[in-house]
Structure 1
Amino acid sequence: MSSHTHDHLDEHPHPHDHDSDHNHGHEHAHPHPHDHDDGHHHHHGGGLWGWISTIFHLHGHSHQHGELASDQAFVDNQEGIRTVWLALAALTITSLLQIVIVAWSGSVALLADTIHNIGDGLNSVPLLIAFYLARRAATRRYTYGFGKAEDVAGIFIVLSIAVSAGVVFYESIQKLINPEPMSNLGWVTAAAIIGFLGNEAVALLQIRTGRKIGSAALVADGLHARTDGLTSLAVLLAAGGTWLGFPIVDPIIGILIGIAILFITRDAIVTMWYRLMDAIEPEYMEQAEAVISGQPGVEELCRLRMRWMGHRLQAEATIAVDPHLTTLESHHIAEQVRHELFHQIPMLSETIIHIDPWLEEPEAAHELTLHHESVPRPLA
């Protein structure tokens, strides 16, 4: 079996026709182990500060190889963290502008909407914590690392989107039952425009970055920002209807926006369900199968499994090779497969390749374990 973690950048300082025993990533040839005890330990302390220091890695040291996830995963996490901070900054500016308008207009309704927007902006905090956690390397307790923290944060985000839909429906129905004329139309319009533009800008940023780095939770947070933008758009349209003498437009548009948010909620739920259940997009499976089957020396791809760990992919494959090859030759084929997978699928961070002998009756190679596990076969 051949396995190690390969978190690579595109810029490889070594030639690609290197020997298969050359390790990528951080397994260097220097004598000190990578989980080194180099004499200065990090004391986080106890209590709240210790917990915060552990999550955000507040050590003040430049070396992070032993405690942070390696190269490409770290780069992607940094981009995710930067995106969430930018989103929080944009939402803060949006809320501050709305607060100024509330102060000038004295509108209680606008104040409630502004407080709602501030609360929704705070929903990005769990995602921010998840990205910081995901930077940390695997431990003996969390042997697969902390990437799944993103999916946990995604659950909270999906719940927030659903709550937003419920609030919109409730307020719209209340307005149908007990209609109230909308006042301060100018201020309401200004606040609605600011709210829509600010939230939609955040949505575009988060969805684009989330898709780029493969973070379903970041995409879900972007969808949440879009629901808030749609809510502001509903207020804008309602203000226009009221100005034209049709106040009934307000609750009707609210219900329509609520329905749109329900569709967004459904998409977010499906996406997070796939991630929590270790589902994988078919195109990644097809791409990996083509790469593995096309490698010289691979007689058969017996089984391939892939899953997301946060916004990074992991793969496990069983391949069959000529049984007459030496161990070193079989290992070389496995390394060639791994090397090509890493380059063809940039989001792949870890690949484990198991070697089987290519036999007419593959059961013969698994006699000892057949009563525990069936012979590896391609997944339906």
Structure 2
Amino acid sequence: MGELFHLLKKGNKSAMIAAIVNTIIAIAKGVAFMFTGNVAMFAETMHSIGDAANQFFVFIGSALSKKAPTDRYPNGFGRLVNLVLLGAVLIVGIMAYETIIEGYHHILHPTESGGFLINIGVLGFALILELFVLYKAMKEVMHEAGEEALGLSVIFKSFAHLGRAKPATKLVFMEDLVASSGGLLAIIAVVIAHFTGILWVEGAASILIGLMMFFVVGRVFLDNAAGVLGRADEEMEEKIGLLVMADPDVKDIQSLAVIKEGEDLHVELEIEIDPNLTIAAADDIKDRLLEKIIAEKGVTDVTIEFDEEDGVRTWNKNIEPKKES
């Protein structure tokens, strides 16, 4: 039990905050729907329930993925967060389906709902909370990307660096981006239906919200399916390649693989060195490279192998040949 609490402290904080906030929002929207019967409110209730459940599982998965390797699982539990996210998107998929079906029925048989001020008040309250969570996720994206951003610049820069965020943070970002957009869409639909009498617009809004939820399902599924399989991080490969080739004793790189498992990066490196070097000198090179590579953000383990220089350039990714002294 003590180990579990220790792991939970390492869980993704953005996901935990989002889970708590979306639980509050889901309760508020659910109560409003019971009083008003508004189909756009139903769509938003389903959306928030899906988000809250999803983000809670994400928090648990991100925490358990930090568990240290065991004899039975020597490669660790890094991919567990990807597996949890694959399961979590099923919840959102079911909610999205129900949201679309309810919206379709409302378009075919539109009914007038009451409680206009209740709907607007609850949706407005929820939108403010969702924007708060989204902004926190944006700041977390920038932190994980190792980039500086202040004020409103966080909003724009977070989109550019989203690909470098951890899977859990990326999911929270995308879900709350859709949630905020859906909340605004629901408010517009409620206002139009109330003042114009065009009741089917609420059903159309429900379908659009459901489709946005399906977009999140598709995007998250593809990202985490690749994570479960063990996706190569090409950007980090190039960065580590430059770092390794900058070492004066490294003649070439035979092979370099940076595999992303959950939030962890595993590096496998084979380099060419002067065959006349002593074992002690080669060991010094290994220690030097290991220290530099393990200092890179997200790298958890490094395997380095040696081969003798063959005079043929293998690694040529943006690398200029070293000048002979």
TM score, norm. by length of structure 1: 0.68
- Judging changes above 3 Å, is the alpha-carbon distance between structure 1 residues 86 and 99 closer, same or farther for their aligned structure 2 residues? same
The residue number in structure 1 matching 2:285 is 333
Partner in structure 2 of residue 219 of structure 1: 170
2-structure distance, mates of 1:167, 1:195: 21
Paired with 1:357 and 1:248, the residues of 2 have a C-alpha distance of 73
Partner Cα distance (2:64, 2:138) in 1: 21
**Alpha-carbon spacing, 1:54–1:174, altered in 2? closer, same or farther (3 Å):** farther
- 1:123 matched to which residue of 2? 54
Tell me, in whole angstroms, the C-alpha distance in 1 between the residues paired with 2:259 and 2:180: 33
2:274 matched residue in structure 1 = 322
2:228 corresponds to 1:276 = yes
Change (3 A) 1:158 1:130: same
Shift of residue 208, structure 1, vs aligned partner: 4.2
Who is 1:40 aligned against?
A: none
- For residue 170 of structure 2, give the secondary structure of its aligned residue in structure 1: helix
- 1:139 corresponding residue in structure 2: 70
- Give me the whole-angstrom Cα distance separating, in 2, the residues matched to 1:259 and 1:87: 21
Shift of 1:78: 4.3
Shift of 1:157: 2.8
What's the offset of the Cα at 1:334? 1.8
Contact 1:155 1:272 in 2 (8 A): yes
Aligned length: 294
Q: Does the Cα contact within 8 Å between 2:22 and 2:51 map onto a contact in 1?
A: no
Alignment deviations for residues 246-291 of structure 1 (CA, whole Å, 9 cap, x no partner): 3232233333334433433333233223312222343212111111
Q: Give me the identity figure in percent.
A: 18
8 A Cα contact 1:206 1:221, kept in partner: yes
Higher helix fraction: Structure 1 or Structure 2?
2
C-alpha contact (below 8 Å) 1:211/1:219 kept by paired residues: no
Distance (whole Å) between structure 2 residues aligned to residue 126 and residue 379 of structure 1: 42
Q: Following the alignment from structure 2 to structure 1, what is the Cα–Cα distance between the partners of residues 215 and 5?
A: 38
In structure 1, stretches of 5+ residues that fail to align are: 1-52, 59-67, 69-76, 363-376
Q: Deviation of residue 55 (structure 1)?
A: 6.3
> Which of 244, 257, 269 is the matching residue for 2:195?
244
Q: Give the letter for the 1:243 counterpart.
A: H
The structure having more radius of gyration, on CA atoms, is 1
Say whether the 8 Å CA contact 2:11–2:60 is kept in structure 1. no
Report the equivalent of 2:300. Answer: 349
Match of 1:50 in 2: none
Distance change >3 Å, CA 339–CA 313, structure 1 → 2: same
In the alignment, is the contact (CA less than 8 A) between 1:188 and 1:235 conserved in 2? no
Change (3 A) 1:180 1:226: same
> What is the aligned partner in structure 1 of residue 239 from structure 2?
287
